[in-house]
Amino acid sequence: MSDSSDAAQADRALKARHRAMWALGDYPLVATDVIPDLGPALVRESGVRPGTRVLDVAAGSGNAAIPAALEGADVVAVDLTPELLEAGRHLAAERGAELEWREADAEELPFPDADFDTVVSCVGVMFAPHHQQAADELVRVCRPGGTIGLANWTPEGFVGQMFTAMRPYAPPPPPGAQPAPLWGDESHVRSLLGDRVTGVDARRRMLRVDRFSRPEEFREFFKNCYGPTVAVYGAVADDPDKVTALDAALTDLAAQHLAHGAMEWEYLLVTAERTPG
């Protein structure tokens, strides 16, 4: 087998693991109960209006896509995980939002060049393993003069710290896969987008999360509902000492951030205009 065939096979296996990971737990519940304000904020800052043709990349269950559709935009939501798309369809129907849902890889989008006015991703594309490839696709499908809008967890914020806390218990990442929270670093995102965009506006913001009254409540919710956390617990399930240590790490982290029944989770909000050419 050739090197290119080996690489393609490895990439398919990696994407299959990602697809399976995000089907674990109940990410739609995370989106609706924990971070419901994040998608609407991204839609608002990206200037979505009635008639805007919008692509939501790694859309999950539609945290940004559904609010965009409710604004009157012409929305296509894509994600690698069919279970999340199905949940999104049900949520959209409940809220009276009309949009298109398609299974697609953020690193290989099935759309022509310059097909959308606005391309957004709400803590989604950051989890694609090959950052430059994903960024290239965001830029490619956005029309000249169009908007790219991103909301990504920062490395230093709560979610970035959570991934750091889980790292010792997780299997090693495959070769070439980059850490998701890097997308929350302004210099990294600017490097990924390069001179293909202009007017980059990158701001660190705080999302207030008031879903959890105790650190243990946060831990148990994420242990059961958030795919990456569910997967890490699965990796150490046969080692009670590691499970106990991971429990303690997540509880301690939540205790450091929880005050008066709320936490502040930092994210990077980026908007940019696609340059001509």
- For residues 78, 84, 85, 91, the Cα torsion angle rounded to the nearest 10 degrees is -120
Alpha carbon distance 241, 51 (integer Å): 55
Tally of CB atoms within 10 A around 243: 15
Q: Where is average pLDDT lowest: 4-18, 114-128, 152-166, 190-204? A: 4-18
Tokens at residue 59, please?
Answer: 């859309």
Given a cut of 80, whether residue 204 has pLDDT beyond it is yes
What is the H or E stretch that residue 205 is in?
strand 197-209
| Residues 6+ positions from 4 with CB-CB distance below 8 Å | none
User: Using 50, 70 and 90 to split pLDDT, how confident is the model at 12?
Assistant: confident
Given a cut of 80, whether residue 194 has pLDDT beyond it is yes
Alpha carbon distance 101, 273 (integer Å): 25
Give percent of the chain above pLDDT 70.
98
- pLDDT digits over 25-78, tens only? 999 999 999 999 999 999 999 999 999 999 999 999 999 999 999 999 999 999
**DSSP secondary structure, 127-189, as one string:** GSS-HHHHHHHHHHTEEEEEEEEEEEE-SSSHHHHHHHHHGGGSPPPPTT---GGGGGSHHHH
Domain 10-163+170-207+265-274: homologous superfamily in CATH? Vaccinia Virus protein VP39 (3.40.50.150)
* pLDDT value for 8: 78
The residue extents of the domains of the chain are 10-163+170-207+265-274
Given a cut of 90, whether residue 202 has pLDDT beyond it is yes
- pLDDT digits over 126-139, tens only? 999 999 999 999 99
CA distances from 242 to 152, 164, 195, 220 (A): 29, 15, 45, 16
pTM: 0.95
Which residues lie across from 198 on neighbouring strands? 273
